[in-house]
Amino acid sequence: MHLTRPTAAIIDLDALSFNLRSARDFLGTGTEIMAVVKANAYGHGAVECSRRLKAEGVERLAVAIVEEAAELRDAGVAGDILILGGIWPEQAELTLKYGLTPAIFRLESAEALNSLSIGRETRTKIHIKIDTGMGRVGVPLADAAEFARAIARLENLEVEGLMTHFSSADDLGQSDFTNFQMDRFGSVVETFANEGIRPPILDLANSPASVAFPRSRSGLVRLGGILYGLGGDVLPDVPQPALMPVMSVTSEVGFVKKVAAGDSLGYGRTFTAERDSIIATVPVGYADGYPRMLSNKGTMIVAGQVAPVVGRVSMDWTILDVTNIPNVEVGTKVTVIGADGEDRILAEDLAAACDTISYEITCGFSARVPRLFKSS
């Protein structure tokens, strides 16, 4: 008897551990891994994934915003947590309360942290984010010297790291620009050194750069997607660590019916049966994170066989044609992402059909899809 809807995301923590170890082996000794657990660990469950990563010896975690870090702290996750997206000045008190390390690229935020740190007779660690070509956030290259001088005057701040972010490390066709960004970063390191700021951490590489550009490793790399087994559509075509998918999404058939040739299905009547058919409806829709763009072109695995999505994906339901699959009934297992029998559907497959990347697919599964964590 079901007390809850059967749609769920199963998170394999052993696969997470495997990917971390595989990445460590690939990168070699001397390269520390900062695990990126932002956006609820790319949809995989930040608290549980962080706990497993910490148990595997990861010393540094990274999130996007203060609120994500607060969730981890409130759950008892200790150690260094870097706020990749920086903080607003008004968040300085929360940053100190939780013992967080923000990336800084606005002087107002640094000044607010310094002021509070003086009042509490403490020093606060920060990383400074430099824009070497991403064009998003970061201290502009032309302002680096002035920014360094201003930071040097804030005596209660400790610059633990300098960091940047690559725009195109996943595209080997743009390797010249990636190398250009590294050259720019090197010049900024010298600029800060001239102002007496020589941080122990130089932090450049994301997942693609860490795999494809050994020069970018600089002792510390930020790994996100590959920890969760998301590499097929993000990593460039170079030797890379072996990875296992961490997330699978499963459900069950919620309704089965026969339809006659000529019957239409779903919103907008975008599918009309060309034959007498058996139709199964599955309780997962775009409110759960199954993209509406998969209408009439996605697939799911039913009882170990592939079934096409027919009609539009709606908010709460998706319709499948199971005419060629015997013995489908209410309660029959449905695999949305994952493997069953000889067939497998990856997040990368859904992403390709939607002209996006696997990160968006896993991040997109909403809070109403419970995460069920498994481990041996």
In this structure, which amino acid lies at residue 335? Answer: T
**Packing angle, helices 46-55 and 13-27, rounded to 10:** 50
Distance CA 371, CA 177 (A): 39
Active-site residue identified among 97, 257, 258, 267: 267
CB atoms closer than 10 angstroms to residue 123: 13
Beta strands 247-252; 333-340: pairing state: antiparallel
User: Residue 344, exposed/middle/buried by CB under 10 A (0-12, 13-18, 19+)?
Assistant: middle
Alpha-carbon distances, residue 150 vs 39, 67, 146, 196 (angstroms):
32, 28, 6, 12
Residues ≥6 apart with Cβ < 8 Å to 97: none
The closest of 82, 192, 189, 177 to 134, measured between CA atoms, is 177
Catalytic residue, from 38, 125, 228, 290: name it.
38
Active site residue 359: no
d(CA 254, CA 246): 26
Alpha helices in the chain (DSSP H): 13-27, 38-42, 46-55, 66-74, 92-97, 107-119, 144-152, 175-194, 207-212, 347-353, 358-364
Residue 128 CA to chain centroid, in angstroms?
Answer: 22
- Identify whether 38 is a catalytic site residue: yes
Distance CA 309, CA 286 (A): 13
What are the residues facing 335 on neighbouring strands?
250, 301
The catalytic residue positions are 38, 267
